[in-house]
Structure 1
Amino acid sequence: MRPETGQVLHFSEDPTIELFVPHVAPTSAMREPYVWAVGYDRCPDYWFPRACPRAMAWKGAATTAADADRIIGAGCGDRVHAIEYGWLKALMDVSLYAYRLPAGPFRVIGDDGHALVAEEPVKPLGPAEPVPDLLGLHEEAGIQLRVLDNLWPFWNEVTASTLKFSGIRLRNARR
């Protein structure tokens, strides 16, 4: 599930949103109200239940072969996502939806450009679309999906490496 040209996506477990209104996200360090969305490259970050903690790593221009082989695995692609066993059932059972939004009102935010924001209300281009088989989406995209007892040892290795990375909802991970 990726946006088409001229679109961005917003993923949600709520299929009834008719208008996205800027708000301050409870988890955001930013205090400005925004409508949040993602572009093509960062959609896989959201192929999860909303509250699911996930650690993600991928090759970047500065990634060493040693780090890529050690963390992603030799010959295992360019990207790996990890969740905890306690979230596997939710990953397989969640009803996740994607909203296609016009790209026009959105701008890149953050140093790494991981998210897009709009400062005005945005109407979806159509109804929410069910996001199919999240495991299948990972497989189709060539993204490894690891299931671990605890995310923190993996996260610590990733953040100390030369890989690019993102962690979402890590506060929900086991301690």
Structure 2
Amino acid sequence: MSLLYHFSEDPNIQAFVPRLHPSHPSLPPAVWAIDEAHGPMYYFPRDCPRIAFRLKEDTSDEDKAYFLDQTQAEMVIAVESGWYAAIRNTVLYRYTFAAESFSCWDKGAGYYRTHPGVSAVYPLKIEPMGDLFSRLCEANVELRLTPSLTPLREFLLPRTLQFSMIRMRNARP
């Protein structure tokens, strides 16, 4: 059975009901989930801005050398240093779903959304994540702390890496 995940600071969600996505208001309501390989992008407090990047099939040799030759990590995630204490102190829960109610929306980012007509999704399991920094290390993620994500955002946009920019509305200017 394929599994998908959702991460939340709320340990008491019994059913996930489709809703509009604030970044994609033209899409019909859905429940969103992430695959295991991309799950570490969500090992953070919900509102924490972050940028995750990794190789993709057509990443240029120049971008690979500049961004990833100096690491053995599967993924690099940059976070603003002002969020350190919140990451350290957040209690996060992983909700596990069977994948049957979902279809892939973005393979490169690992995003899935429920099929049209699904009225609710019920978790198979809910478990606390524990120390988020330890979980990131276990997932072979390189974590980078920076005063502001804005310069990295501007630098990454024209590059050939797979990247996800999450909650950037909360990033420092």
TM-score, scaled relative to structure 1 = 0.89
Offset of 1:26 from its aligned partner? 2.8
Map residues 151-166 of structure 1 onto 2, 5 A cutoff. 151-166=149-164
What is the identity percentage for the equivalent residue pairs of Structure 1 and Structure 2? 35
Instruction: State whether residues 20 and 30 of structure 2, in contact with CA within 8 Å, keep that contact through their aligned partners in structure 1.
Output: yes
Offset of 1:112 from its aligned partner? 4.2
Where 1:174 maps in the other structure, the secondary structure is coil
Give the corresponding residue for 1:70.
Answer: 66
Where 2:154 maps in the other structure, the secondary structure is helix
CA distance in 2, matches of 1:113, 1:144: 17
CA distance in 2, matches of 1:15, 1:110: 27
Give the corresponding residue for 1:38.
Answer: 34
Offset of 1:31 from its aligned partner? 3.5
- Segments of 5+ residues of structure 2 without an aligned counterpart are none
Q: Deviations over 1:59-95 (max 9, x none)?
A: 1111123312322342443421001011111111111
Q: Deviations over 1:120-150 (max 9, x none)?
A: 1111113x21012211122122211000011
Map residues 13-162 of structure 1 onto 2, 5 A cutoff. 13-110=9-106, 112=108, 114-118=110-114, 119=116, 120=118, 121-126=120-125, 128-162=126-160
Give the 3 Å change call, closer, same or farther, for CA 129–78 of structure 1 in structure 2: closer
Across the two proteins, how many residue pairs are aligned to each other?
A: 170
CA distance in 2, matches of 1:7, 1:142: 20
Offset of 1:55 from its aligned partner? 0.7
The AA in structure 2 aligned to 1:58 is R
Offset of 1:40 from its aligned partner? 1.6
- Segments of 5+ residues of structure 1 without an aligned counterpart are none
TM-score, scaled relative to structure 2 = 0.90
Offset of 1:30 from its aligned partner? 3.4
Give the stretch that moved more between structures: 129-138 or 83-92.
129-138
Instruction: State whether residues 10 and 36 of structure 1, in contact with CA within 8 Å, keep that contact through their aligned partners in structure 2.
Output: yes
What root-mean-square deviation, in Å, do the aligned CA atoms of Structure 1 and Structure 2 show? 1.7
Where 1:135 maps in the other structure, the secondary structure is helix
